[in-house]
Structure 1
């Protein structure tokens, strides 16, 4: 029984240690997943910023039926100043390159037939077949380095028809610096605590080829996998943490205690076994002596009744031992009257103590949720019930395991999946979900919704001149002000580096949306204070209305983006204006 209890106690200690180790591992994995979600958000944000940058140029060509070389160079130069990821901007009327900026170093591209080109023809035909923008690559460039090729078909916008419902004009092609994208997103940082690989050439996701990092990571069971949204496709990221979950001192202490328990139990069992053997040998020796001795030896129970007599009794009295057992010992001998032998014997026997033991029977039970000290907690209990030989329950032993921290970590992971890691605002995933719900309600009730697309003016000089940390604090301050300018039922989302979207769940007309935009201007007007610096950041805002300007979120975003770009272009990038799409 002692060995069983010792092993059970050791197992209980080991189980507690393993449970703690499991919780430590879960916490470590949740922290690493949180870091990777931040990297993914950086990668998606930087890439989307580069992709969306040229939307205004495409809209200009579509509305005006083309563009002159001088105007093209002016607009392209402005766009190239904003972001460093674009290698060049190319326009190809009828799929033949006619304009490229910068021209220097790219002269040979003029006159290139993209549709019939042996390398770029496949991607061009894919763009025409899908009738939408495509992201190809990464590919090796003749000029050196690697790039993602963003191709956008351009359809003309007739004055009497919907936007871009006219004939096909040609395409715009922009190489995006792939190595620069990885660097800006932090994937090449030497302090990164992961080995990372990417697959999904041409946005083919898990089915695409590996284009960066060690392909073996995708077969490693310990690697963490995440999907990255890139335009109309996706990439798959496999990341293997370089560190390992730290096993706390408590876990090692539990293991050491379990080993010690087993060793102590083994030593006690061996000692008791040795004592039992000696006792057995001693009893056999004493029985042999008792049966050989010529004097009478007897043994009684607690009540003084005889339970043993040696053979000398029969030799002396002539009476069989079996006929004398059960009598009080004073009834078998002669005692002088008044000697008090019975009283002294009764007192001696009443002072004796008799010990007994119970055998435990273990079983497991699970209990419901409970409150501890006013804090809501989730508890799991494993219990053992001890029963005596009569079957009555004597006690219960239980272990309570608090899994509240695990639930908080899971909630944190869910929050990171739906919110921007810097500002805490909704990301594109949450924005799309809330739009879908709001759109269904708007269709049933017959009211309108509005999308406000905001692009910050004057943010890049802050980011470049004062550093990314200051820029991040400015963005967080902008996000807080935007939240204060709308209703609780509306949604504020960050969709790019300095680009925000506000979804107004219910408006009567575009005038209501314009009123909110004006309120946003007022909220952003006061200078932002970061440390000892004061920054003035304003925004260009474009408005689109559901269902007037589109029935899907993508359509409304594109319409609002076009409106924002027209305002930004008309005001030379320094004026806050609002027009509807």
Structure 2
């Protein structure tokens, strides 16, 4: 059996209050609570949780009906129906601001009272359903992570979710009622790194009556704050007659995606362990350096470095210690050369260095000696300190060759021929060592 609706009566005239109570009970409502003051009404509403409040606007001394309703609505969303015989315009205006669910004029008739209550309850139920739908929509939009804005056919913002509001640097509710074309600007960067202002997609869609318009990898410019890289899609909203009824814009912040893509591009050209250029980037730079040196009749040198007895470090201290050694070595090599030179890791403990625009062979020897001297200081690997040496092979352009692969092979050969010197040494390739080269 359906439980009767619980009603709180707020009326300072005891006879009128009892009359209302009797009428309510006769038509099936539960009307056990009567409050004669605004203060008592607030207390009853808080403690008893009635489903509807019948509130007299004009109460006796103290808090009037409107003030009581304002207090009640601070803690709950109980539907309010005002009871009034007469009220000044100021009181009625104040009552209207509390958004009541109805009015009943005294003297009260049972039929009118019942209609007012049922309409109030129906409106309250529909409002709750609408609030729940909006809550679900808001939760769904928030979970998507995209910014969403909906406009009417004049481009006036009617809906803006939390993400879109935040992306545009606004506070909650500030976008509603704004003209969409005045809120933000989109810019597209072309291959020349110049920025072109794009047409506002919502306004463009409304003007052309197209169904959909998308921009990829554009910059969202706002009045304050940095630009944000986004993808944006505008889709026409149509009514039951298939007529335009507005536009919905979906913004997707692609900052994280761009960072991930940039990192992948970085990994494609850099060694994951040391951060140095890898084999691919090394050969790109070597070929570019050869072309530049050829064009300007300059010399360059390759230094092929291999750690002596690196396998012993891995076997005795473990691969983690070996990795620590390689990372520290990379840092020492970088500070041993100029900023426009290249230090790369080819594989394992093999490193190679491009020295650009060298004036003489003695300059190359000085760099090789500087590198070897830089290894004099022990390497700290956790709680252990070790001494490390290296062997370096040197090949010169154009003296020893003009092709990248040949120069690398010559430097590699020179490095192996440096090891018999007692390690921690360098050797410069000479034509007499060609017989030592691997066969093509």
More RCO (CA 8 Å, sep 6+): 1
TM-score range normalised by the length of the shorter chain: 0.3 to 0.5
Q: TM-score, normalised by structure 2?
A: 0.46
